[in-house]
Copies of this chain bind each other. A is one copy, B any other.
Amino acid sequence: MQAIKPEHVTRTRILDAAEALFMQHGFEGTSMRQLTSRAGVNLAAVNYHFGSKDALIQAVFRRRLDPMNTARIAELAKLEASGSLSPETIIRAFVGPSLRLVEDAKGGGRNFTRLLGRTYTEPSKTLRALIGQMYAPTMERYKTALERALPQIPKDELVWRMHFMFGTLAYTLAATDTVQLIAGCKPEDRYDAQLLEERLTAFLLAGLLAPLKTSMRKAA
């Protein structure tokens, strides 16, 4: 049996530490010294394995985002194959892979989803563009699928509704403990993943299907 490849263990330790610290202090707020100290590796290891701090940031996102978007596309393809493309199944296919990342607490997925929520607003233009590239194929597929499943919604209106959907999901992933802001709801109130998915899906589905006002009916 093959042992764990030693050339990857340091890399992984660095990625895990970076994920946690970037989430907690931001990119610019995390120093290489904090990072390598937490990872239990030498200060020079980041530059050896990744080249620079910026390259490390990109690697942190690639590690999680690529599999997540692959899963999203795979689920959509499965739906298309089985001919069961409804607005609700499309939403579930989109939302599911990211919620499953939240559940992967011990794998560090929870850290990542919170980090991910920040990226849409925080980071440098170059990082935002890079993340946009990672999402692009997925978004294109889902846009097409939703246009077909919701032919009654004008395309430019649908773009905005997808934007709202994306925002709701991003915020939910990033700020789960902010429910506290609204009610006296304890943050770790036995977080129920299944129930959250139901709630989120119901909300998003209704939003996507919302009745059209006359002001929205200008053609694309």
B-binding residues in A (CB < 8 A): 25-29, 114, 117-118, 120-122, 128, 132, 135-136, 139, 143, 156-157, 159-164, 166-168, 170-172, 174-175, 178-183, 185, 194-196, 198-200, 202-213, 215-216
CA distance A161 to B117 in the complex (A): 18
Asked if A122 contacts B132 (CB within 8 A), the reply is no
A184 to chain B, nearest CB (A): 9
Asked if A167 contacts B166 (CB within 8 A), the reply is no
Could you name 13 residue pairs across A and B whose Cβ atoms are closer than 8 Å? A118-B122, A120-B174, A120-B175, A120-B178, A135-B181, A156-B183, A156-B185, A159-B185, A160-B179, A167-B171, A168-B171, A195-B215, A198-B215
Asked if B163 contacts A172 (CB within 8 A), the reply is yes
Of B26, B204, B205, the contact of A28 (CB 8 Å cutoff) = B26
Which residues of chain B have C-beta atoms less than 8 A from A28's C-beta? 25-26, 28-29
Asked if A175 contacts B143 (CB within 8 A), the reply is no
CA distance A209 to B170 in the complex (A): 21
Which residues of chain B have C-beta atoms less than 8 A from A205's C-beta? 210
Q: A210-B202, A216-B199 are in contact. Are A172 and B178 (CB under 8 A)?
A: no
CA distance A203 to B198 in the complex (A): 18
A74 to chain B, nearest CB (A): 20
